[in-house]
Amino acid sequence: MTAYSRLTARAARIATLGEAQAMLGWDASAVMPTGGAAARGEQFAVLASLSHGLSTAPDIADDLAEAEANPPENVWDAENLRLLRAGHTRATALPADLVEAFARVSNECDQIWRTARANADFAAVAPKLAELMGLVREKAQAYGAAFGVSPYDAMMDTYQRGITAADVAPIFAEYETFLRDALPRVEELQNSRPAPLRPQGPFHEDVQEALCRRLSLRTGLEAEHSRLDRSTHPFCGGTPTDVRITTRYSTEDFSKSLMGVLHETGHALYERGLPTAYARQPVGEAAGMAAHESQSLIMEMQACRSDAFLRFLGPDLHTTFGGDAAPYAPENLGRITRRVSRGFIRVDADEMTYPAHIILRFRLEQALISGDLAVADLPGAWNEGMQTLLGITPPNDAQGVLQDIHWYAGLVGYFPSYSLGAMAAAQLMATARREVPGLDDGLAIGDFAPLLGWLRAKFHSQGSRWGFNDLLRFATGKPLDPADFRAHLTARYLA
């Protein structure tokens, strides 16, 4: 066995253990009875500790050095070796006491946050958040030093490699300018048009589930490699050959679950399309969180809210739910599913105002990491930012700085991925439309094969061979270019 093959065997073992963890995670969210929670926590802890033991085995460093002295010629294996090295650098960059303290404090902060959010009481969680941010800063500095990049870039890289804060900042600044001009015009236009007709429920959950599953499979997801279940917090989990989507249903409104399932289906299709020759190797994994979000959003926002697809969807929905046909007319469905509205809550935001929520968090978390912003000043900075970006001020911190779990669980550097994904989705769709004849004609008859075929070839099959901007360069001929996203919004909301 060569040093490189020892490394890949070990990586496969760790990844397989990760699959077991993913499956148990799905189980805990989707089907586990509440009484199983304590035992499940212990199971996760044992698996994590075994995984950690494998990841930090003392002979990895020797194998890496030996493999790097005589690197594989194949570009995929060469990249895989670089990713194995980066993974090892990351796994060994933090002192053990920091890892332990971070695990403990992030768990404590997460718990306190739940109550604080329920009571809209930022002060209750502020001291613990300050302690946690101190640890995040130490972590960011250690990673930054290990990789020779800035602390914040090192954190961003944890979630999405191949794009930096310096790349993102001007893109977000441009978007802010765009939004300041476009948003009032969109609102004016929207207000000048008829209010959407709301389809009359109740919509039986089983009927919704069958509809969601049917449309999810229509995109090209295979029944024998996927499931659709229910959970409080919708997600896409499982493994590439066994992807598990969850959602929750409201009997009053089917559109949220439906679009949610199509969103998760985009994630699922990406996992299904990853290169099987490099399964369970770093280079065979999804390219990062922004890349993943681009795939959920190209499905949900670009394809399934398109004029073309709504022409297919309307009659299908009417057949499914019956009742008055008018609310299911494609134009009306468009008014329902593409409504722009300034709001306080990120996860409820439309695609146009969503980036404002991200820009706010991107700026604040950089300031937190650099130490320019104290935790005590966070609610004020938040509300000020909301006023500047969207012209609204949250009535309380539950609808402001307390709304998202990320920071309170120690996740910093993740937020930009959401909007980078949205922008990449528009760029990918614009390219696909140019390169694939009949793409929208396909969507208009519920045929996703042209789009999926293009995504498979240009994106899914590339695994982690490239960082974010290089992947976009491969797929679209250029790095992230927000002009496509602005053009998409302009066409959809200002035409």
Among 6, 10, 19, 320, binds a copy of itself (CB under 8 A): 19
Task: In angstroms, give the least distance from the CB of 284 to a copy of itself.
Answer: 13
Task: In angstroms, give the least distance from the CB of 324 to a copy of itself.
Answer: 30
331 is catalytic: no
Per-residue DSSP letters for 422-474?
HHHHHHHHHHHHHHSTTHHHHHHTT--HHHHHHHHHHTGGGTTSS-HHHHHHH
Asked if omega into 394 is within 30° of 0 (cis), the reply is no
Among 40, 230, 256, 433, binds a copy of itself (CB under 8 A): 40
Among 10, 25, 47, 342, binds a copy of itself (CB under 8 A): 47
**Per-residue burial over 171-191, b = 16 or more CB atoms within 10 Å of its CB, e = otherwise:** bbeebeebbeebbeebeeebe
According to the binding rule CB under 8 A, does residue 38 interact with a copy of itself? yes
**What CA–CA distance (Å, rounded) separates 158 from 225?**
28
Task: In angstroms, give the least distance from the CB of 190 to a copy of itself.
Answer: 42
342-346: Cβ within 8 A, 24+ apart: 342/183, 342/390, 342/391, 342/392, 343/392, 344/386, 344/392, 344/394, 344/395, 344/399, 344/400, 344/403, 345/399, 345/403, 346/403, 346/404
Among 10, 25, 32, 78, binds a copy of itself (CB under 8 A): 32
List C-alpha distances in Å: 203 to 211, 218, 227, 321. Answer: 11, 21, 21, 7
Strand order in the sheet with 226-230: 226-230, 242-247, 236-239
Residue closer to a copy of itself (CB basis): 32 or 329 = 32
Q: Which stretch binds a copy of itself (CB under 8 A): 18-26, 328-336, 368-376, 421-429?
A: 18-26
Residue closer to a copy of itself (CB basis): 237 or 442 = 237
Task: In angstroms, give the least distance from the CB of 465 to a copy of itself.
Answer: 22
According to the binding rule CB under 8 A, does residue 58 interact with a copy of itself? no
According to the binding rule CB under 8 A, does residue 46 interact with a copy of itself? yes
Scanning residues 259 to 288, which ones bind a copy of itself (CB under 8 A)?
Answer: none
Q: Where in 210-326 does DSSP place strands (E)?
A: 226-230, 236-239, 242-247
Scanning residues 378 to 437, which ones bind a copy of itself (CB under 8 A)?
Answer: none
According to the binding rule CB under 8 A, does residue 39 interact with a copy of itself? yes
Amino acid identity for residue 135 in this structure = L
| Catalytic residue from among 42, 174, 205, 264 | 264
Residue closer to a copy of itself (CB basis): 217 or 436 = 217
Binding residues for a copy of itself, per CB under 8 A? Answer: 13, 16-17, 19-20, 23-24, 27, 31-36, 38-40, 42-43, 45-47, 50, 222-227, 238-242
Q: Annotated catalytic sites, by residue? A: 264
